[in-house]
Amino acid sequence: MDKAIAGIAKALKDSLDTVAICVQQTLDVLSNHEQRLQKLERAMSPKGHLRQIERFIEDIQDPVKREAAMAEFASLCHALGIEDLEEEP
């Protein structure tokens, strides 16, 4: 009887160890997916795209064209309701 109980206890412990490994692997996969999703969300940020456009405009050599482009850009940001291009936490 004790041998049978010991065998059952060992089988249960082995099963528990296997489940623990599976749970840890699942948590690792979820963590990786969450990190990838956060990167995608940052990449799709409208403010990030607008900052790229702003930097492009700032690189325009002709001051008249640069100022005109910056005025249009400011109008666009205003129309979108974006007051600043800093990311929100």
**What confidence tens digit (pLDDT) does each residue in 5-44 have?**
888 989 999 999 999 999 999 999 999 999 998 888 777 6
pLDDT of the residue at 87: 60
pLDDT of the residue at 88: 58
d(CA 74, CA 54): 9
Distances (CA, A) of 9 to 13, 16, 32: 6, 10, 34
**pTM for this model (two decimals):** 0.47
